[in-house]
Amino acid sequence: MFLFPLPALVLFTFFFAVPALQAIQYSVTDWDGYSPTYSTLGIANFARAFAGDVLFSNALGNSMKFMIVVVAAQTLLSLLLAVFLVKNTKVNVFLRALYFFPTILSSVSVAFVWRFMYDPNFGLINQSLHAVGLGGLSSSFLGDSSTAIFWVALTQTWAHTGQMIVVFVAGLQAIPAELYEAAEVDGASKWDQFRWITWPLVAPATSIVVAYTTIQSFKSFDLILGLGGNPPGSGLDILSTRIYTTFANSQYGYAAAESILFMLFIGVTTFFLRRVLRLVQKG
């Protein structure tokens, strides 16, 4: 029986554990990825990332903005839609499948579709605004570095909300119907039922959605490149694209340090959000 997990253990060791240890090894060096020798720098790469690299700081800020918007919007929207689609009627099943459809598309396909939507001159959004006499609301979208990351967050939310609806529907359907019946007998309003029954009992599903959406928001590398080009502008540069660019510039040691910081950032952020969610639900 002990041989059954052996293949998975071998794959984990060679494709995750060993590369992770090598990343730690190279993160304290100035290796360029090609030279047979390199010098040890200690924590200089980490100090550079935090203290002296404006590009890394900008990417970190963009990643934070992107993550906060995606997690908040995707969680709230998917929960709201799941509440309305929880019953297994034909219409609800059809709508769930319709909302889930963007999830099966590749991120590159989604990026090119929305790149056309966001085109300031020929894009569907601006053209539609002009057609109904609201041309004053037209925008440059991805051309504005101060707001570009939020438009990408909208695209990410559109593409993956349907996936989270399925998780919430499963959590909502696990809540005993007797609780709602008793609440109605006691005269509880729909809001009271949601606040005191639905919200506390859907906590496990919410934790899954928040954790998954947080990690998912940091894996939007292909979506960013599809919408912003390679390399993306400063308004769309996130940690994953910044690390990729650093590797492409043959700064392997520094890129390895950025990768470790990125991994730690994901872990701390996910832990913090789950703690906050538990406090909110207890409150």
> In which band, very low, low, confident or very high, does the pLDDT at 144 lie, cut at 50, 70 and 90?
confident
Average per-residue pLDDT for the chain:
86
Does the pLDDT of residue 283 top 70, yes or no? no
What was the pLDDT predicted at 153? 93
Does the pLDDT of residue 19 top 90, yes or no? no
Structural domains of the chain, ranges and CATH numbers in brackets: 56-238+256-282 (1.10.3720.10)
Asked if residue 269 lies in contact with residue 65, where contact means CB atoms within 8 angstroms, the answer is no
What was the pLDDT predicted at 1? 64
What was the pLDDT predicted at 195? 84
pLDDT per residue over 167-196, tens digit each?
A: 999 999 988 888 888 888 888 888 888 888
CA distance between the termini of the chain: 46
Does the pLDDT of residue 281 top 80, yes or no? no
Q: Rounded distance, CA 283 to CA 280, Å?
A: 5
Nearest to 259 by CA among 45, 55, 108, 51: 45
Q: Rounded distance, CA 256 to CA 19, Å?
A: 10
What was the pLDDT predicted at 80? 93
pLDDT per residue over 188-243, tens digit each?
A: 888 888 888 888 888 888 888 888 888 888 888 889 988 888 778 888 989 989 99
Crossing angle of helices 252-282 and 203-217, in 10° steps, is 160
Counting Cα atoms < 13 Å in the Cβ hemisphere of 237 gives: 17
Residue 41's Cα: distance from chain center in Å? 33
Q: Rounded distance, CA 123 to CA 125, Å?
A: 6
Torsion over CA of 84, 85, 88 and 90, rounded to 10 degrees?
110
| Lookup: tokens for 248 | 């492409």
What was the pLDDT predicted at 52? 76
For the chain, the farthest-separated pair of C-alpha atoms sits apart, in whole angstroms, at 76
Across 21-25, 56-60, 160-164, 273-277, least confident range: 273-277
User: Could you tell me the pTM of the whole model?
Assistant: 0.84
Does the pLDDT of residue 280 top 70, yes or no? no
What was the pLDDT predicted at 70? 93
Asked if residue 172 lies in contact with residue 202, where contact means CB atoms within 8 angstroms, the answer is yes
| Lookup: tokens for 79 | 């929960």
**Residue 233 DSSP class:** P
What was the pLDDT predicted at 150? 93
Does the pLDDT of residue 117 top 80, yes or no? yes
pLDDT per residue over 88-109, tens digit each?
A: 889 999 999 999 998 888 888 8
pLDDT per residue over 67-76, tens digit each?
A: 999 999 999 9
